[in-house]
Amino acid sequence: MALDPDQLKAWADTARAYGGEPAYERARAAGKTKLTYEQWVAVRTPGFKRQFGDWEAARGVRQLDALAPANLDGVTPVVL
């Protein structure tokens, strides 16, 4: 599927924002992705996230939900 000029710009901007091929290669070497470079960038574009949901934000929420509450007993509050 060919990209129109706006989609191509969004793809290039996303690739640049996420560190391009060097970042992809590091993720692949670390076993964090099985996607091709083109797929890796595509799933991070604003258009993809609009259509399918922001999976990165959802992952962050799941990670926060999994955290244990901090024990603040004995902590002195800071008064400004």
Domain membership of residue 80 (yes or no) is no
Domain membership of residue 48 (yes or no) is yes
Domain membership of residue 69 (yes or no) is no
Are 10 and 47 contacting, i.e. CB atoms less than 8 angstroms apart? yes
**Alpha-carbon span 51 to 6, nearest angstrom:** 16
pTM of the model: 0.67
pLDDT at 60 over 80: no
pLDDT at 2 over 80: no
Domain membership of residue 54 (yes or no) is yes
**Alpha-carbon span 31 to 6, nearest angstrom:** 31
The domain total for the chain is 1
- Report residue 35's pLDDT band, with 50, 70 and 90 as the boundaries: very high
Segment 43-47 shows an average pLDDT of 90
Domain membership of residue 79 (yes or no) is no
Domain membership of residue 57 (yes or no) is yes
* Structural domain range at position 25: 5-62
